[in-house]
Structure 1
Amino acid sequence: FTLAVTRGNEQFSLRLLLLIILCMVFARNAAMSFNRIADQRFDTLNPRTKNREIPSGKIKSGSAALFVIINSALFITTTAFINRLTLFLSPVALLVILGYSLTKRYTALCHFILGLGLSLAPIGAYISVTGQFAILPLLYSFVVLTWVSGFDIIYALMDDSFDKEHNLFSIPAAAGIKRAISISGIVHLLTTILVVIAGVTGKGGFLFLIGAIIFISLLVYQHLIVKHDDLSRINIAFGTTNGVASILFAVFVILDLIFS
């Protein structure tokens, strides 16, 4: 959004910003709820997930399905108030973010489908403001795609044995824990390269450089604390480290766009 306003010569609109935020909320609500519905049988069997809302009986699957339908409808309706292109592309976005939940049944590349779903956010926000595609927001989308895919491979290490037992697909289940960690590292190396390319392409300044260094350092850190013979710190790597990395990188990039 900030990229489109500062580099796309578009005027700031609080109304448009709120519409984009609403789209994000509705899309995430729909995707997360559909994921819980699709995985409820496996969640019940998995000791790690058996206490989630549907397996534990806190929420009925029918109520969750209704929640998915309502949020999907609100997502598409909200895009109609943005521009025609976002409205036309909204079913495609829904197909990706909802379809991800079924991919573990068919392909070990499911991590990259998740990454693809989240990568729609940068280019989606840019299109919402400008009504067109551009190279720089696409680069940021590829940063998100590889970053998310890499850390989701790490997250999937916890379910390696369960996935094998129940014929579910993942890179850890297909390649083994040690190789999966290496693959995640390679994917995050690509993330690092893409961050540099985005900085050069967008002529990022000193604030961008600080944000990039912090972000890349935290990527390296999570690979240092997760080892094939010690998975005890996966939650720190997956949740805390990536959460901090994304927020700090976003703040520094936004400040750089505003002040450079």
Structure 2
Amino acid sequence: MPRRSFALTFASRHRACEGFVEHPEVTVATRVDQGRVADAPVKNFVDRTLPEALRPYARLARLDRPIGWWLLMWPAWWSVALAGVAAGQPPNVWHLALLMIGSIVMRGAGCTYNDILDRDIDARVERTRSRPIPSGQVKVEAAMLFMLAQAFVGLAVVLQFNPFTIVLAFGSLVIVALYPLAKRVIDMPQLILGFAFSWGALVGWSATFGSLAAAPVLIYIGSIFWTIGYDTIYAHQDRRDDAIIGVRSSARLFANNSKLAVGVVYAAAVTLFALATGLAGGGVLAFLGLAAFAVHLARQVTRLSPDDPAACLDAFRSNRWAGWLFFAGLVADSVVAPLL
């Protein structure tokens, strides 16, 4: 399909997914005028409210696509909630707030770093060529300074925790640094992304207890499987372009077997979460939340259509709500159990 035709088709499908009906020619023109990134939600916070001068940096930090920091945050919040179950008390709200802030700024810093390294690749992929660096909205030097500013905010957050957690948090930096390079070396870079995005599962527990145990380790490993699943769905948007330019991904690796592969890794995630919940002393409410989480993932698998970019994006974004289901069950269990 010609490049322009593909862009128009993707834009049209994306609007249909979001519940808007617009003429594709108008949609593309508007996106170019506003500098909107191709896979950003329509009428997002950045495009609606921020001053024009700040928008490119907000897009660089992915504030127009908040699903990323939700996915980074969930393993940490699950772990804090699970620690509350183990301790027989509600989760620490201060820890939840810190981990939310940390997830937002460190996801932004990581994406900025990724975009600096991938600027040449992004310029050759239809979905990513509109990002701030390849589109010329932000210079590389300015992006580096912006990345450091976000990292300093993340450092301020980490320093609020106990010494063990501070050291543990710094352990993720090596993995974060390696991830953008993984797509050039291995066939499943989503595994490395899982190592990085799931690290909060260790941090959330240690923030409460100042140490680790089997339960948070199982949440960590389970979150890696979950990440492989949802990011394989996401990667199907770029499968054709990735094949042309030689970028590796699990979407290309699994290809026509992607539905089965995603189902297997999602099943592994749910199994490990169940073991972690049991080890932490979780009760009926915790397992009900996990069951709802499992049903949500199963629904993603049954509806997965790898050749439909808009459907893949919609399924990927729905993991925000999947995270709420498991978290709500853990919180309910930690609040109700002590009263019984």
TM over 0.5: yes
Q: 1:229 to 1:125 in 2, by over 3 A?
A: closer
One-letter code of the match for 2:321?
Answer: V
What is the CA-CA distance between 1:14 and the residue it aligns to?
A: 5.6
Q: What runs of 5+ residues in structure 2 fail to find an aligned partner? A: 1-79
Answer whether contact 2:305 2:312 (CA < 8 A) is retained: no
Secondary structure of the structure 2 residue equivalent to 1:233: helix
Q: What runs of 5+ residues in structure 1 fail to find an aligned partner? A: none
2:266 equivalent among 173, 181, 188: 188
Pairing of 1:67-146 with structure 2 (within 5 A): 67-146=146-225
Q: 1:174 to 1:18 in 2, by over 3 A?
A: closer
Q: 1:161 to 1:202 in 2, by over 3 A?
A: same
Answer whether contact 1:76 1:90 (CA < 8 A) is retained: no
Matched, 1:65 2:144: yes
Aligned residues: 258
What is the CA-CA distance between 1:10 and the residue it aligns to?
A: 8.3
Q: If each structure's helix is expressed as a fraction of its own residues, which one has the higher value? A: 1
Answer whether contact 1:10 1:130 (CA < 8 A) is retained: no
1:18-49 CA-partner distances (Å, limit 9, x unpaired)? 44443333322211211222222111111111
Structure 2 CA distance, aligned partners of 1:119 and 1:68? 21
What is the CA-CA distance between 1:9 and the residue it aligns to?
A: 6.9
Secondary structure of the structure 1 residue equivalent to 2:197: helix
Structure 2 CA distance, aligned partners of 1:150 and 1:228? 13
Structure 1 CA distance, aligned partners of 2:196 and 2:164? 18
1:98-150 CA-partner distances (Å, limit 9, x unpaired)? 32122111112210111111211121111122210011122222221111111
Matched, 1:29 2:108: yes
TM-score by structure 1 length? Answer: 0.88
Answer whether contact 1:212 1:249 (CA < 8 A) is retained: yes
One-letter code of the match for 2:121?
Answer: F
Structure 2 CA distance, aligned partners of 1:13 and 1:234? 35
Answer whether contact 1:30 1:98 (CA < 8 A) is retained: no
The corresponding residue for 1:199 is: 277
Moved more, 69-78 or 30-39: 69-78
Q: 1:214 to 1:12 in 2, by over 3 A?
A: closer
Identity of aligned pairs, percent? 26
What is the CA-CA distance between 1:229 and the residue it aligns to?
A: 5.4
What is the CA-CA distance between 1:15 and the residue it aligns to?
A: 5.1
Q: 1:130 to 1:11 in 2, by over 3 A?
A: farther
Matched, 1:167 2:246: yes
Per chain length, whose mean CA-contact separation is higher, i.e. which structure has more relative contact order (CA < 8 Å, sep 6+)?
A: 2
Matched, 1:257 2:334: yes
TM-score by structure 2 length? Answer: 0.69
Q: 1:164 to 1:84 in 2, by over 3 A?
A: same
Answer whether contact 2:129 2:135 (CA < 8 A) is retained: yes
Structure 2 CA distance, aligned partners of 1:126 and 1:47? 40
Matched, 1:219 2:286: no
Answer whether contact 1:72 1:94 (CA < 8 A) is retained: no
Answer whether contact 1:10 1:129 (CA < 8 A) is retained: no
Answer whether contact 2:215 2:279 (CA < 8 A) is retained: yes
- Structure number, greater radius of gyration: 2
Secondary structure of the structure 1 residue equivalent to 2:270: helix
RMSD: 2.4
Structure 2 CA distance, aligned partners of 1:84 and 1:257? 26
Structure 2 CA distance, aligned partners of 1:204 and 1:13? 17
What is the CA-CA distance between 1:182 and the residue it aligns to?
A: 2.3
